[in-house]
Amino acid sequence: MVSSQTLSFLFPAEVSGIFDAPKKAMIIRLRWPVVIICSYLLLFSTEGWLDPVAAYALLFYMLSNTALYLVDEELFSSAYFYTPLVIFDTLFIAATMALSRQATTEFYLGYFLTIILCSLCRDFRGLIIIALLAPLVHGYLLFKSAEVYDPSTYLRLPLPFVMAIFYGYFAQLENFERSLKEKAEQEARNMAMVHSLSQALTRSLDTRQILQTLREKIHQVLPAAKLYVFVVDEGSRASHALLFDIGKEETSAPRAVSLQDFSIVAESLASGEPVFSRSAQLASVVSEGQGAAGGLSFAAAMAIPIAFRGESYGAILLGFDETQLSLSPRENEYGKIAAFATAIALSQSKREEQIQRHVRGITALHEINLATTSTLDLPAVLEILVQKIEPLLPRAAVTAVRMINRETGRLEAAAFRNMTRGEWTKGIPEGGRGTRYPECFRKHGLVSYLGVPLVAKGEVLGDICIFTREERPFTNGEVKFFSTLAGQAAIAIHNAQLFEDIKQQAVELERANRYGLSLSLLMIDIDNFKLVNDMLGHPQGDAVLKIIAKLIKKAVRAIDLVGRYGGEEFFVMLPETGGGDDPLNTAGAPMVAERIRKTVDDEFRGLQKPLNLTVSVGVVCRRFPEDRAMDHRELIRLVDVELYRAKTAGKNRVCVFRPEGATSAP
């Protein structure tokens, strides 16, 4: 006996390939067996010569099938053509059986029953089964009621098989075309749904508005479903996303979650296909205003990925209770379409947001550049900086600019936005790093942090601290932008600090002029300092700078002004310098310079290269009243010349400017 597996292999249910052949050829080929079997019945069922009417009918039928070769192919695609053709063939077959005088009532019943069964078959496999069973059953009944040797019995057996194939083809052709039409209509409905959803979802470029529209559209089809949307942020890790609970009228604030806690969502994102699960137990989610966490538990859940053009934007999570443990094909398809339309909307929203962010960034950089270069007042520069940063951040974000105290080397907050100095100082009594005091920031609702260093000419001046009141990962683009902004701001801050130093020098110079006092300026450069950064790294170089700064301060008086001038240069302004019996009243400055040089030399002597450091010092002394016309710019120019001479003369020495043009190197 033939097994069902063998039958399924030989005669699959879906045989659309049969209908890929031209209809004209298939119809003509199927009609020839009908012509042959009808001829067989007419020729061998009568004794003597063939009746003229039967002969003319048979000839007409053969010529009609031959004439079909001349008919245009497109005509066979019309139901208005092959339907009358089938009716004509049916009448001709019935007439043939009548003329053969061999048909009985049972034969007609079997014949038309075969036609009806073939017309009702839904697939090709059923048609083949009927075509095989019809002649067997009919033959069995015939042999029970007729003599075995009766030749008319054998004439009737092939007819049911031929009829089953002939009418079955037209029935299956009709079913096939109907299914194609239904698929086309379904595709049209799907496209209409996509168009409708896309229109509704793309009316706004705001993510929350898009999700609100999605909730309305989903609830039109699945009113009882609980709806959550996971949005994967471009700056987050692949295992994290923002969770929106949009099942309510108002979308709550998103929560940063780990996709590892939502296995069904992670599986859907990994496979790119919808995933359906029963008895879904997922991670807990804290709604806004709730004090405790409530776990997500559904009788059934479905995760649908939100993807467009190969880029994943997240997933839709639908939760169901016991009343809906499965989705109909229409609901399932609608969920996919909704996810696809949402992906299009989020793609446009993301692209628009990127463009707007880029425009705002360029505008902000330009405004900060103009504003910070319009003044050299350091507090004003810092205030302008935090003022221009504020519109680029989420609502109520806290911005703080911290500067390194050049006296103590510690970070101290200098400018704020959305937090007072008192709140900052009270929360961070030591003025230390921004992440050392989580309780302070938790108290003010600050949950996300970004710190960007302020670096100018290789020197770290401080940092910009940004805190947000919502959990949000900063994207790579945002980090890059704020780093660029910080670099530009650092130059303005560095210039303002230099201006402050020069202004202090001017104050000392004015004081010297007013009271007839001498004034000296030392310019100190660390010899071969570049090797320290190149071989040991900038952190080690910064440590060396701090050590030398401390050595310089120990070597001078409390009233002397010490400051950084460039990467590895320091300046020292010595008010009221004098040498007692020195006629030029300049002996004090060279002595201080030599003391500094020797202190540094002793500190680093014996260390391996590149830490065997020395310094070169240039000295300029302003005498009173002879050099009354020498202002601070001239002092800086002259001391820079002396420093250059000390470097070119072999380094690790002091060179002093003298009016006669000679220099000495103590």
Cα separation values, 150 from 136, 153, 181, 634, Å? 17, 6, 49, 137
Q: How far apart are CA 30 and CA 601, in angstroms?
A: 110
SS (H, E, C) 386-422: HHHHHHHCCCCCEEEEEEECCCCCCEEEEEEECCCHH
Classify burial at 166, counting beta carbons within 10 Å of its beta carbon; exposed 0-12, middle 13-18, buried 19 or more: buried
- Cα(419)–Cα(220) distance, integer angstroms: 45
Max CA pair span of the chain? 163
CA 263/CA 661 separation, integer angstroms = 82
517 exposure class (CB count in 10 Å sphere: 0-12, 13-18, 19+): middle
Amino acid at the residue 310: G
- Alpha carbons 666 and 662: distance in angstroms, whole number: 13
> Which one of 383, 459, 568, 642 is the catalytic residue?
568
- Cα separation values, 492 from 214, 382, 485, Å: 47, 9, 11
How far out from the chain centre does Cα 5 lie? 48
Residue 91, number of CB atoms within 10 A of its CB: 10
* Whole-number Å distance between alpha carbons of 450 and 394: 13
Known catalytic residue at 594: no
Distance CA 244, CA 229 (A): 5
Q: Torsion-angle region of residue 399: left (phi > 0), alpha (psi -120 to 50) or beta?
A: beta
Residue written as tokens 């002394």? 621
Per-residue three-class SS string for 312-379: EEEEEEEEECCCCCCCCHHHHHHHHHHHHHHHHHHHHHHHHHHHHHHHHHHHHHHHHHHHHHCCCCHH
Q: Within 10 A of 182 (CB to CB), how many other CB atoms are there?
A: 10
User: Which distant-in-sequence residues (6+ apart) come within 8 Å of 16 by Cβ?
Assistant: 176
| 62 residue type, one letter | M
Q: What is the dihedral of CA 370, 372, 373, 375, to 10 degrees?
A: 120
Q: Is 654 exposed, middle or buried (0-12, 13-18, 19+ CB in 10 A)?
A: buried
Residue 650 structure tokens: 């072999």
CA distance 162 to 175: 20
**Tokens representing 191?**
């496209």
Closest CA to 171 of 110, 108, 113, 124: 124
Helix axes 124-145, 158-201, angle to 10 degrees: 160
Enumerate the active-site residues: 568
